[in-house]
Structure 1
């Protein structure tokens, strides 16, 4: 039984903000000290015990980007298996309320026009959300 238990990967529940402003979407490139270094992602982070995904997202945006954002509709929840565990990522549409995003943990942040979203390498767990955002933004 112990051998089976050792093969079960840890589930890591995280949340992400799809921040849209003036027709552009905010992406963040993971820093060298982070797992998945160099990949782009929608900003967010781990859901702590007792938090809802929305509460976690609000907290993470304050900590990581020094902003306040209104967490809106749930966009998609995806799962992706990495070597370190299974990431369960809940992505939400968000609106910037206060502050301008600032670098604290990421190597770079950028506002992407829809046509530029696929010009960078996104973390695998974020890809489905990127595709959904792109489809929504390209609708007439």
Structure 2
């Protein structure tokens, strides 16, 4: 049986101090309590950018601007094959309201890997750490 392929997008949102917004999945969904970059599934006829903007409004009531693509990762879970594309993003307006996640926190790039991440997010974390190291 072929596993379902799930196309998702994630936002790597940085604040003015270059801390990154990390969100913890709820305990009643796949990958319960794993950390991830906020985002979600791309719906039919949506571009990745449209999906990311919609998901951030739905999950956190945030309007974001989307910047450079970080990476695309394909990871096979027991429930399906996830293709995750991550992008840098900035908050344009809105105050974070957690409508989907158990909790969130702002984390320094050098501390980010201490969280228990969903496997598909890990390649993006490696790239973020390298880039932030180059900015210092």
Task: Using structure 2 for the length normalisation, give the TM-score.
Answer: 0.96
Counterparts of 1:27 and 1:101 in 2: how far apart (Å)?
A: 12
SS at match of 2:75: strand
Residue equivalent to 2:121:
126
Q: Deviations over 1:92-115 (max 9, x none)?
A: 110111012221110011100122
Counterparts of 2:78 and 2:4 in 1: how far apart (Å)?
A: 10
| Larger Rg belongs to | 1
Does 110-119 or 57-66 show the bigger shift? 110-119
Q: Which runs of 5+ in 2 are unaligned?
A: none
Matches of residues 1-40 of structure 1 in structure 2 within 5 Å? Answer: 7-21=1-15, 22-40=17-35
Residue equivalent to 2:130:
135
- 1:61 aligned to which of 56, 59, 69: 56
Residue equivalent to 2:109:
114
- The two structures, once aligned, show a CA RMSD in angstroms of 0.8
Residue equivalent to 2:69:
74
Task: Using structure 1 for the length normalisation, give the TM-score.
Answer: 0.93
